[in-house]
Amino acid sequence: MINREQYIQAQQKTVDYMARAGIVLTPDEAQNIEVADFGLNRLHEIGLEIVVYVNTDRVCAKELVLFPGQICPEHRHPPVLDEPGKEETFRCRWGQVFLYIPGEASPQPAASLPRDKVDTFTVWREIILHPGDQYTLQPDTLHWFQGGPDGAVVSEFSTTSRDDADIFTDPEIHRITHLAESPAKNT
């Protein structure tokens, strides 16, 4: 668990990245940026910063920020009720993002992983997105992504987001961030 101070610092950093991408947030949106540490308390390696613009029972749109080298860990969006699972398009707005999906593994992937977590990343077909590039993921497709050396700002256009339905490869992950009351260890 990260603590409140780390959470707020990450929110402020996210606002800076949004500004670099020319993206204007309202004060309310800036205050409500979601910082996901996936319950691992190593935010600068594995984490994601999120602004949800809209999430109805039909459509969702978000802005994602990845700090330099920050990883959104491998997961998929399974079918829920009678729906085929979340379909999502990632569009890079600023920086660079390394996206990995099932398929022929890249012989020299651009991403680097923390050694103790290598086993929790299983798909290695690489798609590198620069500003203006985008990729649409079909429902229930395993994927993960990492911010490039300068980080990244990525728009996500999708069907309804149901974070609690996501299935992560790493069994240690908890999608919903809980804050520690006491200072957390350095990450």
Query: What is the chain's length?
Result: 187
CB of 2 to a copy of itself, least distance (A): 27
Burial of 43: CB neighbours in 10 Å, binned 0-12, 13-18, 19+: buried
Strand intervals (E) in the chain: 34-36, 48-55, 60-66, 71-76, 88-101, 125-129, 134-137, 143-158, 167-168
CB of 64 to a copy of itself, least distance (A): 14
CB of 59 to a copy of itself, least distance (A): 6
Say if residues 21 and 91 touch (Cβ distance below 8 Å).
no
Residues 6+ apart with CB under 8 A from 27: none
CB of 148 to a copy of itself, least distance (A): 15
Window 114 to 143, contacts with a copy of itself (CB under 8 A): 131-134, 136
- Which residue from 3, 9, 155, 169 is in contact with a copy of itself, where contact means CB under 8 A? 155
Give the total of residues touching a copy of itself (CB under 8 A): 28
Tell me: does residue 21 bind a copy of itself (CB under 8 A): yes
Residues that bind a copy of itself (CB under 8 A): 21-26, 29, 53-54, 56, 58-61, 87, 89, 91, 93-94, 131-134, 136, 155, 157-159
